[in-house]
A = this chain, B = another copy of it.
Amino acid sequence: MTPQRKARIEAIAACRQPDLTVFMERVHKPHNVSAVLRTCDAVGIMRAHAVPAGGTLPKLNHTSGGAQRWIELVRHRDSAEGLKALKQQGFRLYAAHFSEQAIDFRTPDYTKPTAIVLGTEKFGVSDETATLVDEHIAIPMHGMAQSLNVSVATALVLYEAERQRRGAGMYEPRSLAEEPWKSLATDWIQR
């Protein structure tokens, strides 16, 4: 490994955002899961969460530039258990979900510990999950179709978080504490 590559890896590990995450509820198309993880990497998410559709996660393709290599993906048996764990860790849960009570996705303060919950391609967020989260957020739709692709919706919310966090200086000079930063960088360098 060149010193340049090592420095690059250390700099990227340094701006990981441990208090930003996504929770995919039974998203089942591999290209969608891949695109979500690729965007997670781009905004500095360290660890993503999923309830796999049908028990196993789809096999990921490689077009995502291998972004999933740099993200830890935690599997949960069901949404109730997974969401409870995130709440206990202090995350505020936002379901991307078009409902009567949904607020515009640009309203929340995403500089606070934030988990974005996404629904499955055909049916969206489950009723149970809709009641378990803190808030529903919606992306405005001006057209004939009723929803966006799930990886597109994820990216729009995550980049609103990125905009807010960048403005708040959360990507520099280093977001991650010394300890987790060193161990993450060491782990990446060894891969």
Question: Which residues of A are in contact with B by a Cβ distance under 8 Å?
Answer: 9, 12, 15, 29, 31, 34-35, 38-44, 63-67, 69-70, 106, 121, 139-149, 151-152, 155-156, 159, 162-163, 166, 171, 188
Determine the chain B residues whose CB is within 8 A of the CB of A148 once the complex forms: 35, 38-39, 42, 155
Contacts A35-B149, A65-B147, A67-B144 given; 14 further ones with Cβ under 8 A? A35-B152, A38-B149, A38-B152, A39-B148, A39-B149, A44-B143, A64-B149, A65-B145, A65-B146, A67-B145, A70-B143, A155-B155, A156-B156, A156-B159
From residue A104, how far is it (CB to closest CB) to chain B in Å? 10
Q: Are A41 and B144 in contact (CB under 8 A)?
A: yes
> In the complex, what residue of chain B is closest to A166 when comparing beta carbons?
B140
Copy tally for this chain in the complex stands at: 2
Determine the chain B residues whose CB is within 8 A of the CB of A144 once the complex forms: 9, 12, 41, 67, 69-70, 188
A65 to B65, CA, bound (A): 27
Q: Are A66 and B143 in contact (CB under 8 A)?
A: no
